Amino acid sequence: MEEKFLIRIEPYGKEVVATPGETVLEILRREFYGREGQPSFQGCRRGGCAFCKMELLSGNVHHNEVYSRAALPVEERERNFILACQSKPLSHLTLRMLERESFLDLLLRASKKE
């Protein structure tokens, strides 16, 4: 029997079930993003953009070692930040999603600089 882990997403208080072998991002795309008013995921999914960066509050993950160090510097990884697209749960997790500007907000801000 495969062990499943519970992932709690803060500050939303939402809990999702992790299926073995999936990355945190795959789980969140299946059960969180695009549901209950949450926006869809707009990142690269390959460890290069840092859009899926989260703080690991509790639990353990397996980090894929192939990712951009610009997206997740060593100092941040040592402070328990992860890239959800490159991390697989090894236990129950509590994650804190970081605040992000929407793509539209970024475009509007960039156009104001011109």
Q: Which amino acid is at 86?
A: Q
pTM of the model: 0.80
Structure tokens at 12: 């939303």
pLDDT per residue as tens digits for the range 61-105: 998 888 888 889 999 999 999 999 999 999 999 999 988 655 555
Check residues 110 and 25 and name the one with the higher pLDDT: 25
pLDDT per residue as tens digits for the range 25-39: 999 999 888 787 777
| Residue among 11, 28, 40 at smallest CA distance from 89 | 28
| Residue among 65, 93, 89 at smallest CA distance from 77 | 65
* Res 102: pLDDT: 54
Distance CA 83, CA 91 (A): 16
